[in-house]
């Protein structure tokens, strides 16, 4: 039979995911803990352990495909998880299998029922990786001290109140109170935040921000090891709209240039880059 072994990666998870996330939010950035969970835990510590135990491959239930050590979008576009896997390398992909990446979710559930798996009717997982369905704001409040502060308009006028600048991300449309608003005004979204002053600035949806056609990236990873030489597609946020852009090198850094960058981008978020269905890699917004 196949031996069953367990591995405790609680320490790696706390240091690489939870501590990282809290540090980023405290610095006023918006991290993606699911990306770090994949990088540090599943395809970091766990993959290394499996190989040290003599395994040739590990298999996970991600909706993505590995074609000749190239990361490709999952067949089910509604469930594609390649966005969270941009930190992988072609060397790691030599030892990774995605056995359901070519299937649609209903087909997977049907197969699970056929083999009487207890997860056959389980709801899709939501929320923070390994922690579950909890609002990020509520989770952060357990670890970070926050206090209410002012909501400002673009002219610096106080127009409302928020629960703590650390708890908000750029582009967020809820969670703050606008006290000076006319009935005909369009919704507001968070344009920027100042953690030191504990203020957030909001503006109306549809307002184009200045200097919003360039994003400087850090911690960039090219899955193949090579940066793209032609135009690519980019995605910010899981299931975010793809837009066409170009990667240039400038002063030792990679810069994404595009006239279609969404307004609601925040430092710390992942930008994932594609050539058709192939995931090229990505980086973190500086």
* pLDDT at 166 exceeding the cut of 70: yes
Residues ≥6 apart with Cβ < 8 Å to 278: 70, 71, 72, 73
Cβ 282 vs Cβ 220: under 8 Å: yes
Average model confidence (pLDDT) for the chain? Answer: 92
- H or E segment and range at residue 141: helix 136-141
Q: Which domains does the chain have, with CATH numbers?
A: 10-136 (3.40.50.620), 146-204 (2.30.30), 214-285 (2.40.30.10)
Catalytic annotation, pick one of 17, 21, 37, 93: 37
- The string of pLDDT tens digits covering residues 258-269 is 999 987 889 999
Rounded distance between C-alpha atoms, residue 273 and residue 233, angstroms: 6
Other CB atoms within 10 A of residue 148 CB: 12
- The string of pLDDT tens digits covering residues 108-157 is 999 999 999 998 888 877 666 667 667 787 888 888 889 999 999 989 99
Higher-scoring residue by pLDDT: 121, 68: 68
Whether the CA torsion 99, 86, 130, 10 is positive or negative: it is positive
Residue 174, both tokens: 């809820």
Q: Is 150 helix (H, G, I), strand (E, B) or coil?
A: strand
Higher-scoring residue by pLDDT: 279, 28: 279
- pLDDT score recorded for residue 123: 81
Q: How far apart are the first and last CA of the chain?
A: 49
- Residue tagged 């196949």 (tokens): 2
Question: Is 37 assigned a catalytic role?
Answer: yes
- pLDDT score recorded for residue 215: 96
Dihedral pair phi/psi, residue 36, rounded to 5°? -70, -35
Question: Is 279 assigned a catalytic role?
Answer: no
Catalytic annotation, pick one of 36, 93, 129, 170: 129
* pLDDT at 207 exceeding the cut of 70: no
Rounded distance between C-alpha atoms, residue 243 and residue 72, angstroms: 18
Residues ≥6 apart with Cβ < 8 Å to 87: 35, 38, 39, 43, 221, 281, 282
């Amino acid at each position: 039979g196949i031996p069953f072994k367990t591995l405790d990666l609680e320490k790696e998870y706390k240091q690489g995911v939870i501590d990282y996330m809290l540090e980023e939010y405290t610095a006023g950035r918006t991290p993606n803990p699911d990306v770090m969970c994949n990088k540090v835990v599943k395809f970091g510590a766990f993959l290394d352990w499996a190989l040290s135990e003599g395994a040739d491959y590990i298999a996970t239930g991600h909706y993505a495909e590995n074609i000749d050590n190239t990361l490709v979008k999952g067949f089910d576009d509604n469930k594609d998880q390649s966005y969270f896997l941009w930190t992988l390398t072609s060397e790691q992909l030599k030892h990774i299998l995605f056995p359901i990446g070519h299937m649609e979710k209903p087909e997977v559930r049907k197969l699970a029922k056929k083999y009487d798996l207890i997860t056959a009717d389980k709801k899709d997982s939501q929320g923070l990786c390994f922690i579950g369905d909890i609002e990020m704001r509520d989770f952060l409040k357990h670890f970070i001290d926050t206090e209410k502060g002012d909501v400002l308009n673009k002219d610096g006028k106080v127009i409302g109140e928020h629960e703590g600048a650390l708890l908000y991300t750029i582009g967020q449309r809820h969670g703050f109170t606008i006290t000076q608003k006319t009935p005909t005004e369009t919704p507001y979204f968070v344009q920027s935040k100042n953690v030191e002053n504990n203020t957030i600035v909001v503006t109306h949806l549809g307002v184009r921000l200045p200097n919003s056609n360039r994003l400087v990236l850090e911690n960039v990873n090219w899955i193949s090891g090579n940066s793209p030489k032609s135009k690519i597609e980019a995605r910010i946020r899981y299931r975010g709209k793809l837009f066409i852009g170009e990667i240039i090198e400038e002063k030792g850094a990679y810069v994404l240039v595009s006239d279609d960058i969404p307004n609601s981008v925040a430092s710390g978020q992942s930008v994932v880059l594609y050539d058709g269905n192939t995931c090229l890699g990505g980086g973190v917004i500086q």
